[in-house]
């Protein structure tokens, strides 16, 4: 019996050289796809869905681009995954990690072609990654003790992160906003209490940071527009007139007076419920579901502000921020935890009215209101700001910083090159290849800015042979510049994550020597 009949008809397998080529090509194609978005002069991509509504996203965030692609190549999926993890873990460096992994595989492909075993390459890459990390550790700066310097470090990191995004024109304004928001968190990495509200209209420069919490709702008719020292009950309960809630129930009556009695009973039931709610001693009631006119009237008569249809994310966050819990039964008021805030008032942003809660129990809460020309601009601005906030919140905990602009890659490449010279055997080829892959990042930054990358990288390499050099690529002037003077800083945590994730992903793809594709088992096979 021939061996190829082991698999069922619709299965296929690729072995050895072919499998490895398929993995390499897939991974390099993905890296080339996002390569042009790297750096301050990186370009954006338009992602258009073919589904209903043909939604359009304009972005240059590596993770967002890759998340939206449906990829068939298994090795390419590994790169999409590392970019997602990078986004969740540290927020920035999502493009760099894919570009670096792609370059490592490109170099590995050349080595495999010249008959070096993948395991030898992996061993070399491991040594090189360890050496590169140590090189960075020697050069990190940490100003945690000096509050003034630390804040300026954070400002510079935020500006560097925003440089490659849509917010680069107003980066000082947004960096200031992001740093203020992060300092309010007092070292926590929970970004839940920073709420971002997007309102089309105005320009990006009109965006602002506001202490407290803003709920995107209007205050109902005849209700107080301003409440001081508010006691807030946050609820998720049905406040439409209680209908007979039995599925398919029918009530037969023989006269209109009976109908009126049923309606009267429903009204009474609702009145009892409202009285139970008022018994909590509140002056603001926020509900996730609808509130019909009758209960709204009762609340207005009692001088209680009732807000309906607060979306779930809004209501969860409101509970968190005001220190209240979401209630759905109101029989024993003593067990319900109410939220508190000093002032509730209505504010106007652009054309819209919103409700502003200030002086909330959770002091670190704040809202960032983004203004911009269109929804696409606002979505991209939110993604950019979210990246900056993630990086800053991580840096507050791990306060080590590095210079940016291709400086870390050159420092690592120099050390890795030295290691290659000292190492005997075939591993040294892999270590050398690793250093070439690292240099690809400054090369790409220069290429994307339309500069002569070969010239610039050669200059950089020469500069880095001097001890304690701070040279990197200054894209704005198009030359090699001092990164410390230019204020281009990056978080150590981001660089470390990029280095380690890319190496591990490349290693995983290198180990592949067979790809088996087969259909999932059908139902009848499982019996």
Q: Is 189 assigned a catalytic role?
A: no
Q: Quick one: pLDDT at residue 241?
A: 64
Out of 37, 57, 64, 95, pick the active-site residue.
Answer: 95
Q: Quick one: pLDDT at residue 342?
A: 87
Low-confidence ranges of the chain (pLDDT < 50): 1
User: What CATH superfamily classification does 145-207+370-398 receive?
Assistant: TCP-1-like chaperonin intermediate domain (3.30.260.10)
Q: Quick one: pLDDT at residue 526?
A: 56
Q: Is 503 assigned a catalytic role?
A: no
Q: Quick one: pLDDT at residue 1?
A: 45
Out of 87, 92, 379, 387, pick the active-site residue.
Answer: 387
Integer Cα distance of 305 and 357 in angstroms? 13
Give tens-digit pLDDT for 85-141.
998 888 888 899 999 999 999 999 999 999 999 999 999 999 999 999 999 999 888
Q: Is 322 assigned a catalytic role?
A: no
User: What CATH superfamily classification does 12-141+403-517 receive?
Assistant: GroEL-like equatorial domain (1.10.560.10)
Q: CATH topology of 145-207+370-398 equal to that of 213-362?
A: no
Domain ranges in the chain are 12-141+403-517, 145-207+370-398, 213-362
Q: Quick one: pLDDT at residue 231?
A: 86
Q: Is the separation of the CB atoms in 275 and 267 below 8 Å?
A: no
Q: Print burial letters for 58-83: b (CB count within 10 Å at least 16), e (below 16).
A: ebbbbbbbbeeeeeebbbbbbbbebb
Out of 37, 57, 61, 87, pick the active-site residue.
Answer: 61
Give tens-digit pLDDT for 269-322.
888 888 888 888 888 888 888 888 888 888 888 888 888 877 766 777 777 778
Name residue, tokens 């509970």: 319
Q: Quick one: pLDDT at residue 458?
A: 92
Out of 64, 94, 161, 444, pick the active-site residue.
Answer: 94
User: Torsions phi, psi of 186, nearest 5?
Assistant: 50, 50
Integer Cα distance of 86 and 89 in angstroms? 5
Q: Is 387 assigned a catalytic role?
A: yes
Which CATH fold would you assign to the domain 213-362?
GroEL (3.50.7)
Q: Print burial letters for 289-309: b (CB count within 10 Å at least 16), e (below 16).
A: eebeebbbbbbbeeebbbbbe
């Amino acid at each position: 019996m021939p061996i190829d009949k082991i698999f069922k008809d619709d299965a296929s397998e690729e072995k050895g050289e072919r499998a490895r080529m398929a993995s390499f090509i897939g991974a390099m194609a993905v890296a080339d796809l996002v390569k042009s978005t790297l750096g301050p002069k990186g370009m954006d991509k338009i992602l258009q869905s073919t589904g209903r509504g043909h939604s359009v996203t304009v972005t240059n965030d590596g993770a967002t681009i890759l998340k939206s692609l449906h990829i068939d190549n298994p090795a390419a999926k590994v790169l999409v995954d590392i970019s997602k993890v990078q986004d969740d873990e540290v927020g920035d460096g999502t493009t760099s990690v894919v570009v670096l992994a792609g370059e490592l595989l490109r170099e590995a492909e050349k080595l495999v072609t010249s008959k070096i075993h993948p395991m030898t390459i992996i061993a070399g890459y491991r040594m090189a990654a360890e050496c590169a990390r140590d090189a960075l550790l020697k050069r990190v700066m940490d100003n945690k003790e000096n509050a003034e310097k630390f804040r300026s470090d954070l400002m510079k990191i935020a500006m560097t992160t925003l440089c490659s995004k849509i917010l680069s024109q107003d980066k000082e304004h947004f960096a200031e906003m992001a740093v203020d928001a992060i300092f309010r968190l007092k070292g926590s990495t929970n970004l839940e209490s920073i709420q971002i509200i997007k309102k089309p209209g105005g320009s990006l420069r009109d965006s602002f940071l506001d202490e407290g919490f803003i709920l995107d709702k209007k205050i109902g008719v005849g209700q107080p527009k301003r409440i001081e020292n508010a006691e807030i009950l946050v609820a998720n309960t049905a406040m439409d007139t209680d209908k007979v809630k039995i599925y398919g129930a029918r009530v037969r009556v023989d006269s209109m007076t009976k109908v009126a009695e049923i309606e009267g009973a429903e009204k009474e039931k609702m009145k009892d419920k409202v009285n139970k709610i008022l018994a909590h001693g509140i002056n603001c009631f926020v509900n996730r579901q609808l509130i019909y006119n009758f209960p709204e009237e009762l609340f207005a008569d009692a001088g209680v502000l009732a807000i309906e249809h607060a979306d779930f994310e809004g209501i969860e966050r409101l509970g968190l921020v005001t220190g209240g819990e979401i209630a759905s039964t109101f029989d024993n008021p003593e067990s319900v935890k109410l939220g508190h805030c000093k002032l509730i008032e209505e504010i106007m942003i652009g054309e819209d009215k919103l409700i502003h809660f200030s002086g909330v129990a959770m002091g670190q809460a704040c809202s960032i209101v983004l203004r911009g020309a269109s929804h696409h601009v606002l979505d991209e601005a939110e993604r950019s700001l979210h990246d900056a906030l993630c990086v800053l919140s991580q840096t507050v905990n791990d306060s080590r910083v590095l210079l940016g602009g291709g400086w870390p890659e050159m420092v690592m490449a120099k050390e890795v090159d030295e290691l290659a010279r000292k190492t005997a055997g075939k591993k040294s080829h892999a270590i050398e290849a690793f250093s070439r892959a690292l240099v690809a990042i400054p090369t790409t930054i220069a290429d994307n800015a339309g500069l002569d990358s070969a010239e610039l990288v050669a200059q950089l390499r020469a500069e880095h042979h001097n001890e304690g050099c701070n040279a990197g690529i200054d894209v704005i002037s198009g030359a090699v510049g001092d990164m410390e003077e230019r204020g281009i800083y990056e978080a150590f945590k981001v660089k470390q994550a990029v280095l380690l994730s890319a190496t591990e992903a490349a290693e995983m793809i290198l180990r592949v020597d067979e790809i088996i594709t087969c259909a999932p088992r059908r139902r009848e096979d499982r019996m």
